[in-house]
Amino acid sequence: MLNEQQYQQLLKPLNPSRVAKRQGGGGRSLSYLEAWDVKAHLNRIFGFLNWSWDVLSAELMFESINGDKTVVGYKVVGQLRLHATGATYTEAAVGSANLPQRGEAHDMAVKTAESDALKRAAINLGTQFGLSLYDNGSLKDVIGRTLDRDTVSQPEGEPEPAVTDVSDGVPDSEGAEEWIGAMKGMVGEKNVPGLLELKKKMTEEKVTENTYQGMTLARWLDKAIASVGKGK
């Protein structure tokens, strides 16, 4: 099971410094994560020994000679496993290479396919692993919350995150600090109706997706309401 820090990290917006770009078809700019970055973030969130990536198969799809180069394509099927939770994600990808050395062409094609399969598997873990980028390159978290977590009681002895929690990665939106200040005041007063009215006002002014310290204002407000409710 995920601990609270892991869960909250997975719900943060994507740090723009992690996003790479390349030109796609029709001159479009495509946003993506590098395979090394995905592996680094798996280590950061789950720990060095708590995840694994296994190549289940590597199948030669095609090979031909193009002048002095060898053109090779491989299909790789791999499985990402999170040891603590028992979750597994299996994905496939085809990678190709066009190089002078035959061995290097085979090696590069396999590496490319393996990297793409890993990234596709990791996307199942949400925004921190590139899921939001499929929404026209958005950095905003596209999940928000999960119902299984909402229906499970907070583990005894584990405190609910406060509105003063700090996250990094995405610049604060203009005016976000004022909204947070309003939330803090109502949390101190244990004013749930006031928080609900604030939520209505934020929705009307379309600021719920604005970010403060790496998290949307909507998420901060949910935390505020939850913390007051538990304090009653």
Which domain CATH number covers 48? 3.30.390.80
- Considering the domain architecture, whether residues 164 and 124 belong to the same structural domain is answered as no
- Considering the domain architecture, whether residues 32 and 89 belong to the same structural domain is answered as yes
Q: What six digits make up the tokens of 27?
A: 């001159």
- Residue 142 counted as domain residue: no
Point out which residues pair with 58 in neighbouring strands.
Answer: 76
- Considering the domain architecture, whether residues 71 and 162 belong to the same structural domain is answered as no
- pTM for the predicted model, two decimal places: 0.67
- Considering the domain architecture, whether residues 83 and 126 belong to the same structural domain is answered as yes
- Residue 195 counted as domain residue: yes
- Per-residue pLDDT 10s for the chain (232 aa) are 899 899 999 999 999 999 999 987 777 889 999 999 999 999 999 999 999 999 999 999 999 999 999 999 999 999 999 999 999 999 999 999 999 999 999 999 999 999 999 999 999 999 999 999 999 899 999 998 888 875 444 444 444 444 444 344 556 788 888 888 888 888 888 888 888 888 888 888 888 888 887 778 888 888 888 877 655 4
Count of structural domains within the chain: 2
- Considering the domain architecture, whether residues 126 and 163 belong to the same structural domain is answered as no
Structural domain of 105: 4-134
